[in-house]
Structure 1
Amino acid sequence: MVNLALWIVAGLMAAVCLTGSSKMFVPREKLAASGGTATRWVEDFSPGALKAIGAVELLAAAGLILPAALDTAPILVPLAATGLALLFAGALAMRLRRGERVTIAGDLVYLTLALFLAWGRFGPESFVG
């Protein structure tokens, strides 16, 4: 049952990351205007930094699914989840710094899911060992 939950969370987080990776392609001004106050944070980052964040999210999406699905280096799954947890911890810190307490809930949920995925794939439902 835990394995199924971990696969569902991995799929959900991969979808979130794929959506978030649009930062690589959409201009900063358009991103800032697209989601109201929830997306104003992009104004604090340079276009290069947004592209880097988008690239990290794209790699995380691939790292959460492909290594296990292809049975190639499955240790990358919990490592990708750990990296994603660090990304969302940074997002929480940024939201707190900006005083965006209303929009912090989504990042907190994503952080929790990434931590659950890292715990599960390093621990009881590891692909290796």
Structure 2
Amino acid sequence: MNVVLWIIAGLLAAAFLAAGAMKVSQPKEKLVASGMGWAADFSAGQVKLIGVLEVLAAIGLILPAALDIVPVLVPLAALGLVLTMIGAVVVHARRGESQALLPSLVLLVLAAVVAWGRFGPYAF
């Protein structure tokens, strides 16, 4: 199970690193034009903050355990992603963006599995 948790954490880290970097590096208007309609409901600063939090969580899923420096940050990062994805599901549901709900729910479940595993039976 430890290997499975590492694989899930790696996939989550890659996904959130890419998504967060995109939110941080591109202007809000470009994100909206590229299909992220939800960004129109938030200020540019809020979109950048979400991106920064996603990048930090991606780093927090891997580095603390890999370097064996405060490995308790791994499940905390996963828990942060769970909360972020709950917010994403709520926003997509309110906007009627049904095509965006499934990926958000999948990421939510994967982050919850990592949080459960690393807080519980497979802690570092």
TM-score by length of structure 2 reads: 0.96
The residue that corresponds to 1:9 in the other structure is: 8
1:103 aligned counterpart, secondary structure: helix
CA distance in 1, matches of 2:47, 2:85: 14
Post-superposition Cα deviations, 1:50-84, rounded to whole Å, max 9, x if no partner, equal: 11000100110110000000000000000100010
After TM superposition, give the deviation of residue 102 of structure 1 in Å: 2.2
The residue that corresponds to 2:50 in the other structure is: 53
RMSD of Structure 2 on Structure 1 (CA): 0.8
Gaps of 5+ in 1: none
AA aligned opposite 2:107 = Y
CA distance in 2, matches of 1:101, 1:4: 33
TM-score by length of structure 1 reads: 0.93
- 2:119 equivalent to 1:125: no
- Per mean C-alpha deviation after superposition, the further-off stretch among 13-22 and 83-92 is 13-22
Which structure 1 residue ranges, 4+ long, deviate > 6 Å from structure 2?
none
Instruction: Give the alignment partner of residue 90 of structure 2, picking from 90, 93, 102.
Output: 93
After TM superposition, give the deviation of residue 32 of structure 1 in Å: 1.3
AA aligned opposite 1:47 = A
- 2:41 equivalent to 1:44: yes
Gaps of 5+ in 2: none
How do 1:15-94 and structure 2 match up within 5 A? 15-21=14-20, 22-34=22-34, 36=35, 39-94=36-91
2:99 aligned counterpart, secondary structure: coil
- Per mean C-alpha deviation after superposition, the further-off stretch among 53-62 and 93-102 is 93-102
